Amino acid sequence: MKAVQAYRFALDLTPGQERAVLAHAGAARVAHNWALARVKAVMDQRVAERSYGVADELLTPSVGWSLPALRKAWNAAKGEVAPWWRECSKEAFNTGLDALARGLKNWSDSRTGKREGRPVGFPRFKSRRRTIPSVRFTTGAIHVEPDRKHVVLPRLGRLKLHESARKLARRLDNGTARIMSATVRLDGGRWHVSFCVEVDRAQQRPARSGSVVGVDIGITHLAVLSTGELVDNPRHLGAAQTRLRRLGRAVSRKIGPDRRTGQRPSQRWVRASARLGRAHARVSNLRRDGLHKLTTRLAREHGTIVVEDLHVAGMLRNRRLARHIADAGFAEVRRQLAYKTEWNGGRLVTADRWFPSSKTCSGCGAVKAKLALSERTYTCTTCGLILDRDLNAARNLAALAAQVDSAGSGPVAGRGADRKTRPGGLVAEKRQPGTAPADQTGTVPPQGRTTNHALVRAH
């Protein structure tokens, strides 16, 4: 099975090598800003000409937004814009132009409705001091040295790794991997190199192929499994909050940059800001490590994993729980399970966002009309079942796997979940007379259950 995955290693650069990497990252920023200024100038000129009544055929010729068009324009003007262009690899300029091409395409697709999700804004100019230095290499000599402690990149030469690259080197030696690109990036005060690799993975099967487990994500416990296992939430951000506050106060006491007056930051501010950044990076690394260990264990052990389609962006609007939700990494758990179940030969089932996993009794199937968030113990008034709220939800998620087997793959809108009215209402749906209303997932609610639909009154 062919799969594209990344291998990330920390680098130990010499001062000269760090200056060279920064020069390449600066070259990418210069190319990006020049191309963006050119595109904006042409767009503004065409808008001004239209305001004066100029015919479309007489307007200033438009500029291509594709990467080949931007690269062609850059090659024609780089002698005047960047006389030093020979000092850097061509991949540095290609990095900035490619980022701009992607940004323009995303902005255009978002405006025309081709791209789902939140609206994408127009690309912005990259600041020298606020932009994270990064450069990507797609061509040239990119390989791992035989000692597995050094990598070779175009124009940058031989770079020392902070750790051994034996995992990647073994695959390269066996011919089961091919490096597609390499990205050097400054993250948390340390340089890293990430290899995008096409890997030929062997077919694998979970340890228990017939096992079905429901995973309920929460704050009190990071994950509650339908098997009864409770995975503790380490709360890395909460544990480091005292240190982060102290470092933040230390930064605020220093003379920082001021864009209004053009004031440059002091060296003490730079050092204090770097300490704060390293502290945040440590929290991020601890969280990433814990989530990878959890999702890898679940994907290797169970054949079917059932999770919820949580609206994390909406949950983050709760000011009381936003920091705890972000610290747990709800969306990251599902993202990692999506590709790890595929790698290990398992299956991931996603329950519908409106499935009442917490309100439904896992014993008799009765659904409560309301269940406050403060009620941590589920008590069924029909059959008398008393169970932990999260464990009850995990068991209901595990039961959905049988419905998927009978109804086919895809999200499951189980047991007629009620929709809550959105602020401002929802658009009235059009349907033929005599037919049942369809929910937002395209499934028809079961007959005999009521579904709340907010209709917009036509004026």
SS3 letters for 195-211?
EEEEEECCCCCCCEEEE
CATH number at residue 293: 3.30.420
Predicted pLDDT of residue 408: 57
User: Is residue 44 among the annotated active site residues?
Assistant: no
Domains: count for the chain: 3
Q: How confident is the model at residue 177 (pLDDT cuts 50, 70, 90)?
A: very high
Which residue of the set 98, 327, 390, 439 is catalytic? 390
Q: In Å, what is the CA distance from 68 to each residue of 98, 100, 286?
A: 9, 12, 40
Do the domain assignments include residue 415?
A: no
Do the domain assignments include residue 117?
A: no
**pLDDT digits 0-9 by tens, 244-302:** 999 999 999 999 999 889 899 999 999 999 999 999 999 999 999 999 999 999 999 99
What whole-number distance in Å separates Cα of residue 312 and Cα of residue 329? 9
Length of the chain: 459
96 and 229 fall within a common domain: no
Predicted pLDDT of residue 440: 32
Flag whether pLDDT at 456 surpasses 90.
Answer: no
Predicted pLDDT of residue 324: 92
Q: How confident is the model at residue 426 (pLDDT cuts 50, 70, 90)?
A: very low
Predicted pLDDT of residue 352: 86
400 and 433 fall within a common domain: no
Domain boundary among 112, 141, 163: 112
User: Is residue 388 among the annotated active site residues?
Assistant: no
Arithmetic mean of pLDDT over the chain: 86
Which residue of the set 216, 327, 352, 439 is catalytic? 216
Do the domain assignments include residue 165?
A: no
Predicted pLDDT of residue 29: 97
Nearest alpha carbon to residue 38 among 102, 120, 123: 123
348 and 219 fall within a common domain: yes
398 and 304 fall within a common domain: yes
Predicted pLDDT of residue 418: 47
Flag whether pLDDT at 187 surpasses 80.
Answer: yes
Domain that holds residue 95: 15-112
What whole-number distance in Å separates Cα of residue 333 and Cα of residue 22? 34
What whole-number distance in Å separates Cα of residue 218 and Cα of residue 336? 17
How many Å is the Cα radius of gyration of the chain? 27
223 and 339 fall within a common domain: yes
Q: How confident is the model at residue 404 (pLDDT cuts 50, 70, 90)?
A: confident
Pairing label, strands 150-153, 157-161: antiparallel
Do the domain assignments include residue 7?
A: no
Nearest alpha carbon to residue 367 among 400, 404, 392: 392
Domain boundary among 112, 145, 161: 112
216 and 77 fall within a common domain: no
Whole-prediction pTM: 0.81
What is the mean predicted confidence (pLDDT) over 175-189? Answer: 94
Residue labelled with tokens 């949580």: 310
User: Is residue 216 among the annotated active site residues?
Assistant: yes
Flag whether pLDDT at 173 surpasses 70.
Answer: yes
Flag whether pLDDT at 346 surpasses 80.
Answer: yes
Predicted pLDDT of residue 313: 87
Which residue of the set 91, 98, 308, 352 is catalytic? 308
Do the domain assignments include residue 130?
A: no
Predicted pLDDT of residue 407: 58
Predicted pLDDT of residue 432: 36
Predicted pLDDT of residue 103: 96
What is the mean predicted confidence (pLDDT) over 205-228? Answer: 92
Do the domain assignments include residue 104?
A: yes
Pairing label, strands 302-308, 208-217: parallel
Q: How confident is the model at residue 406 (pLDDT cuts 50, 70, 90)?
A: low
Predicted pLDDT of residue 262: 86
Flag whether pLDDT at 213 surpasses 90.
Answer: yes
Three-class DSSP category at 43: helix
What is the mean predicted confidence (pLDDT) over 88-111? Answer: 95
**pLDDT digits 0-9 by tens, 352-399:** 888 888 889 988 888 888 888 888 898 888 888 898 889 999 999 999
Q: Dihedral, CA atoms, 94, 96, 99, 100, nearest 10 degrees?
A: -110
Do the domain assignments include residue 221?
A: yes
| Percent of the chain whose pLDDT exceeds 90 | 66
Domain boundary among 60, 78, 112: 112
Do the domain assignments include residue 87?
A: yes
Predicted pLDDT of residue 422: 34
